[in-house]
A and B are shown apart, each in its own frame.
Chain A
Amino acid sequence: EPEVTQTPSHQVTQMGQEVILRCVPISNHLYFYWYRQILGQKVEFLVSFYNNEISEKSEIFDDQFSVERPDGSNFTLKIRSTKLEDSAMYFCASSELDLAPEAFFGQGTRLTVV
């Protein structure tokens, strides 16, 4: 069964450093997303991406964040200068259509900022 894969599973970084989280969405899906879950809180939408551009972003997704689809398979989330409060599980997801938004999630990357 096709699945969304994310690397790395766990990333520890120092405050102020840049991190890149990587995802390979399901191959025939057109919509790509990043969500995060801070420990003990709910899953929060960060950004959606379609046709090589951002289609929607949340207030969390400020200038420190960027997304890119550098080739035909990868989808990345970059945090330019990490803060302690960026520590969270980051989930990549993809869906076939926005009108039937059953998004399929990866297993997540645990980001720890120290």
Chain B
Amino acid sequence: DQQVKQNSPSLSVQEGRISILNCDYTNSMFDYFLWYKKYPAEGPTFLISISSIKDKNEDGRFTVFLNKSAKHLSLHIVPSQPGDSAVYFCAASANNQGGKLIFGQGTELSVKP
């Protein structure tokens, strides 16, 4: 079941630069998309979300872009900080499925000082 895919298992970025994490999906019924951050031995922490009626949502250093025609979303972090180093998961939801989230495999971001 690969409905949500994050094709880059890892990403390394210099502090202060932009981090771009990518996510693709196949199910056209998905209408809500979320990004979570996860540290080892902790639960996922909600970061930012976007509804399918929008193409951009911004919250401080974090911006999520949605391209519905390409079934692609991305998370931009700018400027990147060492504390952003974690695994980032993309997740998607369809409104007829009781809030069920389908997760991607995750991308491990390393921000180097």
Range for the number of chain A residues in contact with chain B? 20 to 34
Do the beta carbons of B98 and A50 come within 8 Å of each other? yes
Q: Is A65 an interface residue (CB 8 A)?
A: no
Instruction: Note all chain B residues with C-beta closer than 8 A to A44.
Output: 103
Instruction: Note all chain B residues with C-beta closer than 8 A to A50.
Output: 98
Q: When chains A and B are docked, how far (Å) is the Cα of A100 from the Cα of B93?
A: 9
Range for the number of chain B residues in contact with chain A? 20 to 34
Q: When chains A and B are docked, how far (Å) is the Cα of A106 from the Cα of B98?
A: 19
Q: Is B43 an interface residue (CB 8 A)?
A: yes
Binds B, one of A11-19, A67-75, A76-84, A91-99: A91-99
Instruction: Note all chain B residues with C-beta closer than 8 A to A48.
Output: 97-100
Q: When chains A and B are docked, how far (Å) is the Cα of A93 from the Cα of B103?
A: 14
**A interface list, Cβ under 8 A from B:** 4, 6, 31, 33, 35, 41-45, 48, 50, 55-56, 58, 91, 93, 95, 97-108, 110
